[in-house]
Amino acid sequence: MRRLSIHLPSWLQDWLEILIPASQILLILFAAWLINLFFKRVIYRAGAHYALPRELLVPLRGVIRWLIIAATVLLILERLGVSATVLWTAFTGFATVGAVAFFAAWSVLSNLFCALLIVTVGPYRLGDYIELLDTAEKPGAKGRVVDINMLYTTLEDASAAHREGALLQIPNSLIFQRVVRRWKGGIHAHIPEDAPPSPEEEAAALALTTRS
């Protein structure tokens, strides 16, 4: 490049110091865009082929996108003359802060990860009747699954002491630390014998009592 610049006009030689880094930055951005597009298509094709849930594809897509953005920013800063030592110091500083934040928010992150496992593995579904046990013999929280979000699984409480539509919010991470007894199906699925009667059953029983 230096040999070539000797044969160029003096006014053009001054512009080379700007044009060369600018062209390199444009190439880096174009390459990052192509890589991002490639991984986007690969992820969604794999999701369509293996019937993966969207709740799993979106976070995976976001992680890859941010990794590409971080690598692109580092390469651009290097082209602009920022030394590798400064970049490494900044990277280690951000990594340390990220590690501290990760351990500080471990309970929340574990619930998020377990929510993805619940969606993908499917230990239970909406409408199923489940019981959360410390052991297989000791009874625990039980009810019908009415909601599954990124932090909690919500059960319609089926204990004898709460028959007025009380809800149990169980952290998703706790699901994988307990024995789960599951009755598959929707509202007409099999219900355990010790489960409280539904409002319809109570109304029918009250009507029969009144008639008699």
pLDDT in tens, the chain (212 residues): 555 555 555 655 666 677 778 888 999 999 999 999 999 999 888 888 877 777 677 778 888 998 899 889 888 888 887 776 777 777 788 778 777 776 666 777 788 888 888 877 778 888 888 888 876 666 778 888 888 888 888 888 876 555 566 888 888 888 888 888 888 764 444 444 555 555 545 555 555 555 55
pTM score of the predicted model: 0.46
What is the rounded distance in angstroms from the CA atom of residue 183 to the CA atom of residue 145?
Answer: 11
Buried residues in 121-146 as b, exposed as e (16+ CB within 10 A): eeebeeebbbbbbeeeeeebbbbbbe
Map residue 167 onto helix, strand or coil: strand
Eight-state DSSP code of residue 198: P
Residue 118 corresponds to which tokens in the numbers above? 């619940």
Nearest partner of 131 among 193, 88, 205, judged by Cα: 193
